[in-house]
Amino acid sequence: MVEACICTIGDEILIGQIVDTNSAFISRELNKLGIKVSSIVSIGDNFKEIVNTLEILTEKYPVVITTGGLGPTKDDITKNALLKLTGTDEMCIDNEQLGVIIDICSRRGIELSDLNRDQAMVPKSCTVLVNRKGTAPGMFFKTFSKNSLLFLLPGVPYEMESLMPNVSELIVSNLKTEQIIHKTIVTFGVAESLLATLLNEWESSLPPQIKLAYLPNPAIGIRLRLSVYGGDKRESVDLINRYSNELYGILGDIIYGESDDTLERVIFKMLINEGKSLSVAESCTGGKISSILTSISGSSGIFKGGAVVYSNESKIAILGLNSEIIEKYGAVSKECAEEMAIGAKRVFNTDYAISATGVAGPNGGTPEKPVGTIWIAVAGDGFVVSKKTIFAGDRERNTIRFSSEALNFLRLTLKTYISIIH
């Protein structure tokens, strides 16, 4: 199996001012080609270290991909390191990239500076991967070392991402790769250790060529990833399908999807199939539930709107809540959550509405309603259902889990009511 190494360059990563999201993206893309990322290394904007590291990595790995270190400002020195490594003393202007740079500057109303122009300078021995989203070109060195294909990509995520199709194409045309078959099953609502206990017996029955991994994520739930490396492709697919089918039998409704499915995507599929619309009323989640739902392109066909009713007055003014309900039961209560859902359904004129009201923390908790308490309700035609959960986390984590919990409750409710209708 072909192994690869990703090397991110930039002091900003080492001092912790930037989180490296590029490596995860590149890993997923390489995985699709049957290339295994064996290591990810982050180094600083240091000439010697870049030279040394690239020398070592290109000796060891058949594919090396760097990101970062190509920006217009003075802290970027990767190109000079490359120049030293390749032994090519000459740089040349790439006219296609220069065209993009001129275009970007003119669209932004910026005068073309020398710094901008220099971005189009590349070592002569490389193949340029023209960056149409930004000013720094990607570079491919086929003959950098006899052992390795070397790619240099810009550090800005969406620029790097736009170049990955070229990278994949160049790898496939230059290397013989072996396959990996993954299948990922996505679950929500059961903790990792309980899931492990539920699956203990089944896991022991897995043949040795199948590997199972638990991938917990507070927003998505726990993904169960089955992997088979190498072997006959058809047999591997059959094997992985057989065992994933068994998972459905064991876990039932805990499973909500596969691969890149998220709660919001699954909900949208259900609503689109039924031709139904949705609205949101949220308090403690502060817009997060609406924000998650609208992250899906095309969501305007389903999602009509949301009310972020942070204050009690806004719950009354926007959603028409009865002030007596808030006085009698408090804003974090079954009654308030249900009235919020009913109110949102009415004012946004939708088929379904979901509401969430709770205590995200760090302040506002009481012995009866501690930090982490969330009431969720779903209203539909002629019904409203609600649920309380208590989480233990900080404000940020609680907001994420509250939102996911609300979406999961909506998923399960929709499933039940849609099955009753049909």
Cβ partners under 8 Å of residue 106, min gap 6? none
What DSSP string describes 230-242?
A: SS-HHHHHHHHHH
Of 340-399, which residues contact a copy of itself (CB under 8 A)? 347-349, 361-363, 392-397, 399
Q: Angle at Cα 84 formed by Cα 9 and Cα 172, nearest 5°?
A: 60
Tokens of residue 239, six digits: 């094997």
Judged by CB under 8 A, does residue 127 bind a copy of itself? no
Q: Looking at beta carbons only, is 86 or 369 nearer to a copy of itself? A: 369
Residue 259, interface with a copy of itself (CB under 8 A)? no
Which alpha helices (H) appear in 66-122, and where do they start and end? 78-86, 95-107, 114-118
Residues 49-68 that bind a copy of itself (CB under 8 A): 49
From 54, 82, 226, 293, residue interacting with a copy of itself (rule: CB under 8 A): 293
CB nearer to a copy of itself: give 93 or 142.
Answer: 93
Out of 100, 307, 342, 377, the residue judged to bind a copy of itself by CB under 8 A: 307
286/310 Cα distance (integer angstroms):
7
* Cβ proximity of 72 and 118 under 8 Å: yes
C-beta atoms surrounding 129 within 10 Å: 22
Looking at 25-33, 58-66, 85-93, 249-257, which segment touches a copy of itself (CB under 8 A)?
Answer: 25-33
| Separation between Cα atoms, residue 82 and residue 90, nearest integer Å | 11
Question: Closer to a copy of itself at the Cβ: 203 or 381?
Answer: 203
The answer to whether 338 contacts a copy of itself (rule: CB under 8 A) is no
CA distance 257 to 53: 41
Does 313 interact with a copy of itself (rule: CB under 8 A)?
A: yes
Total of chain residues touching a copy of itself, rule CB under 8 A:
106
Structure tokens at 366: 């009481």
For residues 287 and 415, which CB has a smaller minimum distance to a copy of itself in the complex? 287
* Cα 360 from Cα 393, distance rounded (Å): 9
User: Token digits for 76?
Assistant: 């970027």
337 within 8 A of 355, measured Cβ to Cβ: yes
In the complex with a copy of itself, which residue's Cβ is closer, 41 or 125? 41
Q: How far is the CB of 396 from a copy of itself (least distance, A)?
A: 7
For position 73 contacting a copy of itself by CB under 8 A, the verdict is yes
Please tell me whether residue 37 binds a copy of itself under the rule CB under 8 A.
yes
Tell me the closest approach of the beta carbon of residue 89 to a copy of itself, in angstroms.
26
Residues 197 and 250: their CA atoms lie apart, in Å, by 12
Task: Report which residue type is found at 57.
Answer: L
Among 120, 240, 289, 337, binds a copy of itself (CB under 8 A): 289
* Residues between 260 and 279 that touch a copy of itself (CB under 8 A): 279
- Decide if residue 235 touches a copy of itself (CB under 8 A): no
31 binds a copy of itself (CB under 8 A): yes
Q: Where does this chain touch a copy of itself (CB under 8 A) — which range of 30-38, 61-69, 163-171, 266-274?
A: 30-38
- Residue 323 contacts a copy of itself per CB under 8 A: no
CB of 110 to a copy of itself, least distance (A): 5
Q: What are phi and psi of 380, to 5 degrees?
A: -135, -170
Other residues' Cβ atoms within 10 Å of the Cβ of residue 79? 21
Comparing CB distances to a copy of itself, the nearer of 276 and 397 is 397
> Which residue lies nearer to a copy of itself by CB, 86 or 187?
187
The verdict on 1 binding a copy of itself (CB under 8 A) reads: no
Structural tokens at position 410: 């909506």
Residue of 1, 47, 59, 75 interacting with a copy of itself (CB under 8 A): 75
Cβ neighbourhood burial of 191 (10 Å; 0-12, 13-18, 19+): exposed
Nearest distance in Å: CB 186, a copy of itself: 11
The distance of Cα 313 from the centroid of its chain, to the nearest Å, equals: 36
Q: How far is the CB of 159 from a copy of itself (least distance, A)?
A: 10
Q: Hey, which residues between 168 and 227 contact a copy of itself (CB under 8 A)? A: 182, 184, 191-194, 196-197, 203, 211-217, 223, 225
Nearer to a copy of itself by Cβ, of 305 and 330: the residue is 305
Residue ranges with strand state E in 73-179: 91-93, 121-123, 127-129, 138-145, 148-153
Structure tokens at 132: 């149409």
- Contact with a copy of itself (CB under 8 A) among 241, 295, 323, 366: 295
Other CB atoms within a 10 A radius of the CB of residue 292 amount to 22
Among 86, 187, 262, 290, binds a copy of itself (CB under 8 A): 290
